[in-house]
Structure 1
Amino acid sequence: MASRCFGTRTLTISKPVHVARYHDYVRVASKAGSIRVPLNSHNVIGIVNSRGNRSQQEDFYGFASLSLDPEELRISVKKAHGIDWNPDLVDEMYARQVLYVGIYDGHGGSAVAQYLRQELHGLFESVNKAMIPDLFAWIKEIGGYFKRFKGGAIAPWIDGTNKEEMTLEARATLAFFEVDKNMSSDTAAQTCGATSSVALLQSLDAPSTPFFSAQKLALTVAHCGDTRVILCPTNGSSAFPMTESHHADSHIESIRLRRMMGSSLITDSYGESRWMGALANTRCLGDLRYKRFGITPEPEVRTKLLDGKEWAYMVLVSDGISSILSDDEIVDLARDAANPKKAAERILAFSEELGGDDNATAIVVPLAGWGKIEGPDQTKDLREYRRRQASKP
């Protein structure tokens, strides 16, 4: 169910027409020229996807090598990390190359998650600042919560006069809102939605290197809901989360919603907090009938500058796994695997062994520290205990 990108095609989602340049491979510089390394190789990105015991599959994912404006990338790196990256030090083809990996967890149906699988990577590449004034006018028409919305990361471009390039944060915000706008005429999107986490990896090395061997990487994560992005360090310390679940009672969401909407938090019969008595996640794409009540597609964007050798891999999981396993268990399960595919399989298999029966997806993206984790497996004893408990009648 991967969103695979073959060749060049013309997108008709937004105007002006954009000729897509994304691919399902990364270009790697060599003495012989440019080599194409396929992203669907088990050694490049490892992915497993299971329906569990559910009647339909609502988990999906996508990956692509995007081609983005080097000036936008330069500005983003400067603002996020305070460093001067010079795209002129590498060929433009490599300066534009950004790895995109997305995980999408649907609820109430698969329509929105499937749309994300098919289109979100293309939207990330194709959106531009000229679209922002019209998009913002549409957002304000939603009313309710969005009457007071100021635009967030896209605010500088609302009046259409700002000539500066967008940042990656603005691009992510624009793309996520554009999904809701594009699906606003789809009846299914009124009553179903999807959470989403998108990770963007940009090599800052000169000469250019691919993400899996880069010594310096800029990571940007755009996140809505309770899918997760986790980094595994090579020094044996704890997992490093790049996302926080957007549940109604989480710190960041309770502040946002109470400031703008008052309180509509209701605890259901299982003891779970739900907004409007219906939604566990207060940021998602789709669920359009709830937008005016504070459900937003505005992503929380976090960035991190990575010294490649200090990080072994990045893991993306849906809540079918994170509701069963801790972050540390997830990254420990992946250590010492033969390849990223085997690492992802281990994560899924253990969550199912402990009783996980939901849709579940695990994605493992290797970094320069792959296979170089130091120290003991910190959760091994805990996992063995949980395995024994789960096997008891």
Structure 2
Amino acid sequence: MQGGPSTAIILDDPHQWRRVNLRLLISATIAFNRLVAPPALLRHLCAVLLAAAGSQLAVAPHRVHLRQYHDYIRTLSPTGGSGRISLKPSRTGVYGLATSRGTRAYQEDTTSVSCVSLPPAVLRASYLASSSATLRDVASKWSPSTPAEQEVAGQLAWFACFDGHGGQPVSQFLCKELHAIFEDVQEDMVTDTVQYTRSLGGYFRRFNGGLLERWVRKEELKPVRAGAGHPRATMARAAAATRPTGDAKGPAVDAAERTKAEEAERQRAKEREREREAERSKPKTFADLVNSAKAGPAPSATQGTVGSGSGTVSAVEASAAGQTAGSRSKEEADNAPPQLSQQPALIHSAESRGEVPLAGPIEGAQGARSSQDSSASPSSLDSQPNSHPASSPPSAASEARAGLTSLTQRIPPPETLAESTLTLSERLTLAWLHTDRLIHSDPQLDVGGSTASVVLLHSLDTPTQPFYSSSSLFLTTAHIGDTRMLLASVSDGTAIPLTNYHHPDDRSESERLRKMGAGMITDSFGEARWMGALANTRSFGDSKFKKVGVTSEPEIISQLVRGDDYAFVVAFSDGIGGVMSDQEVVDLCRDARHPHDAAHRVLRFAEELGAQDNGTVLVVPLRGWGRMGGQDSTKQRREFRRSKVDLYRDSRT
């Protein structure tokens, strides 16, 4: 566009690029948008077009490929044309977003809004497999016929809210990659993903896949022994194997045999001690390996080359401090951890034991220390391309796609399911479990965790309509943690929860974790923590707590709704939900003219109440926007709470 506003509408033209006079476009745009947009969202677009009268708009052909996410939604007009509706955040966009860091040093909340695509046939098969007779009836009549309809019929609007803890990396990774992983997961990834989850041990030792169980090849699953690898369990098994059993003559044994058994036990004890020393001296992560390399070479340590260049990095010392290289015995030298050049062998051996290989960092470090930088110091390893995707956006998607191949062994599903496809709930579960595995495999991501609340909106109208003007809408939520999503009723303004709080004292979560014993600890203020540390019993990351039942399996709720019966969906983090009730959030959005105004109303009231945590509010309008009935039942309560707040006094320590 030349000399006009930043807003642009792109139309499909099968012939060639042409220029269209904006004056001629205004009437067609207004007629088109009256069919697909509510009046409140239409006024601004018309005003922008009228203000730019006389400008010229370049119209270019556009084609959308399925299975590829976008930051816009495509729509069809009754005359056969199409247009794009941007999903980028703005004051005049089709949804509202408000965020605040609160009093925290960092903003760990993130949001993700995009349009993901699945083949219409896959979505239809998923709906027909539902237990809801109403949904099956609607799905049987929903059948896009023309190629243009099929291109837009598979679009799902993706709105997500993430609340990180322990740092920013995990929530930022989910913001950039989770929707892409949702599109990319396949049926042949299920069995290996379930096997990895079982290898976490503890709570997951007998995990069979949950919603994914029908896709698992049971014969491919390897048993996970309870307590395997624990030094105490290993010593107990060794002692039991060498304990004299006696014979018919009585429990006593010959003195020579007893002496021989004791000697064998001492030898085994020495071997176990050497194994433990070797294990402790090995670097557990790539960061440990880099730190040990920075410490400098041993007095006479062997130099190991890294990459294909001439530069070398010293091998990690294996003996204790104070020992010289010349005094080390052959046994101690054998116990030394592998050098950088031996890391591929270490990775392969870890894979054979069922452990998680390092995804990417080893290769990245080797490639960076090539012949073009042979004289670089060890400290330069910190600046090599080994950062998490959030800090290097151009390579984030490629790294995540590479993880699908490098981490997961492709095992065909059972033959009885050869012609079947993943349902929407199964795809969400697989994407969540696989994303959690990707986080565990990256040392720079596996430093904390994050909650996640995602809502997918799919129009079942014919022709397909945008989510905010769809009369028949299939709504799916996938949720872990304590972020919150609500659906607002048009009839009386009731707040309908779409998610539950995954806290240790929640009834469903306490039932799920009962077999782990007394893991819930309540402090003197009544706040419950699982294992004394975590407020959430479901989350991404938090690898140290997976064995005790912290899972990334999402709680999925699906329902077919009439767009005219509901005004909006609102999502918010615990920084908002911790100081406000569900009904207060919905009532604050009641009379807002635009979703942007509604989101900022909620955030502003939370700040007035003294909210200190990161706060995020995401408001998604539906067809019933602006027509909410009933009374503002929490108005007097909000005014009373506001009058009793003294931020200066309450903030004193």
Aligned-residue CA RMSD (Å): 1.7
Report the counterpart of residue 73 of structure 2 in structure 1: 26
2:70 match: secondary structure: coil
Structure with the larger helix share: 2
> How much does 1:32 deviate?
5.0
Question: Displaced runs of 4+ in structure 1, greater than 3 A?
Answer: 188-191
- Structure 2 contact 122–423 (Cα < 8 Å) conserved: yes
* 2:511 is equivalent to residue 255 of structure 1: yes
1:38 aligns with one of 83, 86, 89:
86
1:222-233 matches, cutoff 5 A: 222-233=478-489
1:129 aligns with one of 168, 187, 191:
187
Partner Cα separation in structure 2 for residue 170 and residue 222 of structure 1: 11
Report the counterpart of residue 140 of structure 1 in structure 2: 198
Partner Cα separation in structure 2 for residue 104 and residue 230 of structure 1: 15
1:207-222 matches, cutoff 5 A: 207-222=463-478
* 2:159 is equivalent to residue 101 of structure 1: yes
Report the counterpart of residue 336 of structure 1 in structure 2: 591
> How much does 1:174 deviate?
0.6
Partner Cα separation in structure 2 for residue 354 and residue 389 of structure 1: 9
Q: Which sections of structure 1, spanning at least 5 residues, go unmatched? A: 1-17
> How much does 1:43 deviate?
3.4
Partner Cα separation in structure 2 for residue 220 and residue 364 of structure 1: 16
Partner Cα separation in structure 2 for residue 276 and residue 335 of structure 1: 40
Report the counterpart of residue 316 of structure 1 in structure 2: 571
Report the counterpart of residue 281 of structure 1 in structure 2: 536
Question: Alpha carbons of 1:205 and 1:262: their partners in 2 closer, same or farther (altered >3 Å)?
Answer: same
TM-score (norm 1): 0.92
Partner Cα separation in structure 1 for residue 630 and residue 519 of structure 2: 46
Amino acid at match of 2:480: C
Report the counterpart of residue 273 of structure 2 in structure 1: none
- Structure 1 contact 87–95 (Cα < 8 Å) conserved: no
Report the counterpart of residue 266 of structure 1 in structure 2: 521
Partner Cα separation in structure 2 for residue 94 and residue 378 of structure 1: 40
- Structure 1 contact 80–303 (Cα < 8 Å) conserved: no
2:175 aligns with one of 114, 117, 121:
117
Partner Cα separation in structure 2 for residue 97 and residue 193 of structure 1: 29
Partner Cα separation in structure 2 for residue 352 and residue 204 of structure 1: 39
Question: Alpha carbons of 1:120 and 1:126: their partners in 2 closer, same or farther (altered >3 Å)?
Answer: same
Q: Which sections of structure 2, spanning at least 5 residues, go unmatched? A: 1-64, 218-412
2:442 match: secondary structure: coil
2:521 match: secondary structure: strand
Amino acid at match of 1:328: Q
> How much does 1:225 deviate?
0.5
- Structure 2 contact 66–118 (Cα < 8 Å) conserved: no
Which entry has the higher C-alpha Rg, 1 or 2? 2
2:561 aligns with one of 296, 299, 306:
306
Partner Cα separation in structure 2 for residue 211 and residue 204 of structure 1: 10
Partner Cα separation in structure 2 for residue 188 and residue 109 of structure 1: 11
- Structure 2 contact 86–93 (Cα < 8 Å) conserved: no
> How much does 1:72 deviate?
2.6
Partner Cα separation in structure 1 for residue 163 and residue 451 of structure 2: 5
> How much does 1:357 deviate?
1.3
Structure with the larger strand share: 1
* 2:494 is equivalent to residue 238 of structure 1: yes
Partner Cα separation in structure 2 for residue 169 and residue 133 of structure 1: 17
Identity %: 45
Amino acid at match of 2:640: Y
> How much does 1:188 deviate?
4.4
* 2:627 is equivalent to residue 372 of structure 1: yes
- Structure 2 contact 493–587 (Cα < 8 Å) conserved: no
Between 354-363 and 136-145, report the one with greater CA deviation. 136-145
2:644 match: secondary structure: helix
> How much does 1:338 deviate?
1.7
